[in-house]
Structure 1
Amino acid sequence: MSEVPIKCTGIAVVLLKKVQNEFKVLLVKREGSVLKDVWCYIGGGIEEGEKAWEAAYREVEEETGITNMSLYSANTFDRIYSIEGNYIYIAPVFVGFVPDDQEVTLNEEHSDYRWVSLEEAMGTVSLPGNEEVLSFIENHFVKKEAPAYLKIRR
C-alpha cells in the first residue's frame, strides 16, 4: 500500500487592521515564478531551528516591513495537494492584528498590496481553500474577540 506523505514546512499569516470600525485584510500580489500575479495573504517557509510562530513574525517583517503586530494562532491550516510531489502540504495559519496607521513596505516577492474588506478578500484570493481560511478567521477573530489563549507571547 502506498501513502501520500504530509509535509509541514511553512506558515501562513492573515494580517488584519481596523479602519473606521471595519476590519481590513492585507492581500499581496505574488511576483515570483511560483503563483505569479496571484493575490494571497502572507506565506513562507520555516527555517532550520525555527518555530512556526517565529517564522510567522519573520515572514511578515521580510515581506511587508511590519514589526508592530499582535500575533495569534488561528487554529486552522492551509492545505494543498502537490500534484508533482504527490504530497499534502499543510501550513499553520496565524492572525496578526496591526495598527491602522501601519505602513507596508513590500520586498521583491510581491508587486502590489491592498487592504480590503474580508468579503472582497474572499472574492479576490485565487488559491482554492484561501477563502475558507478567511471565512474561519472572520468567524473566530473578527466577529468575536480573539481568544486570549491563542495569543503568542514572544
Structure 2
Amino acid sequence: MPESAVVSVDMYVFRTTPEGLKHLLMRRAAGRLYEGSWRMVAGKINDGEQAWQAAVRELWEETGLTPISLFAVPSANHFYEWQTDRLQLIPAFAAEVAGDPQLNEEHDRFEWLQMGDAVRRLAWPEQQRLLRLVDELVREDRVPPSVRIPV
C-alpha cells in the first residue's frame, strides 16, 4: 500500500490589473528539476513549519514578494509517484501580490497570464484544476472566510 505524506506546498500567485486577474507563472531554469517547465511557486515544508508558513516563505525565496492577501485553497494537489510508491498530497495556497518578482536561481523567466493562457502552460492536470479554482474564487469574490489566512 502506498504511503502518503505532506512534505511540500503549492502557491498560486495572482494580481488584479486593468485587464483583469493575472496569474504568475515562472519557467524552471536549466539544470533544475522540471527544467523548462512553467510552474507556480512551490517548495518543501521545513521541520517545525506549518504548510501555510512554508508557502509564504517559498513565495519570498522564489520571488521576493510578500502577500497582500492569502488563503488556503479549499482543495489540494494530489498524485501517485510510482518511483517512491507514495501518494503525494500537496496543500495549495493562493496569494495576491503587488509588483513583479525578482527571480532566484530556480527560474529564468516569469509571465503574468490570464487564466486560460496560464492553464495551457501548466503540464499537470491537478495544477490546472487548482489554478482554475483559484481564478474562479477570486474573480467571483467567493473565497470562504474560513480559509483566509491573516497576513
Q: TM-score range by the shorter chain?
A: over 0.9
Q: Which runs of 5+ in 2 are unaligned?
A: none
Deviation at 1:21, TM superposition (A): 4.8
Which residue number in structure 2 is paired with residue 133 of structure 1? 130
Which residue number in structure 1 is paired with residue 37 of structure 2? 38
Distance, in Å, in 1 between the alignment partners of 2:148 and 2:4 is: 26
Q: Deviations over 1:41-64 (max 9, x none)?
A: 110000000000100110000000
Of 135-144 and 16-25, the range deviating more from structure 2: 135-144
Q: Is 1:23–2:17 an aligned residue pair?
A: no
8 Å CA contact retained: 2:12, 2:95: yes
**What's the TM-score, normalizing by structure 1?**
0.91
SS in 2 for 1:146: coil
Q: Deviations over 1:56-95 (max 9, x none)?
A: 1100000000024211011111112112101111111001
Distance, in Å, in 1 between the alignment partners of 2:18 and 2:76 is: 29
**What's the TM-score, normalizing by structure 2?**
0.93
Q: How does 1:39-78 map to 2 (within 5 A)?
A: 39-78=38-77
Aligned residues: CA RMSD:
1.4
Distance, in Å, in 2 between the alignment partners of 1:144 and 1:152 is: 16
Distance, in Å, in 1 between the alignment partners of 2:135 and 2:59 is: 20
AA partner of residue 30 (structure 1): R
Aligned residues: 150
Q: Is 1:120–2:98 an aligned residue pair?
A: no
Q: Deviations over 1:109-148 (max 9, x none)?
A: 1111100001101111112321111112122222234333
Which residue number in structure 2 is paired with residue 146 of structure 1? 143
Q: Which runs of 5+ in 1 are unaligned?
A: none
8 Å CA contact retained: 2:32, 2:106: no
Which residue number in structure 1 is paired with residue 101 of structure 2? 104
Which residue number in structure 2 is paired with residue 9 of structure 1? 7
SS in 1 for 2:125: coil
Identity of matched residues, %: 25
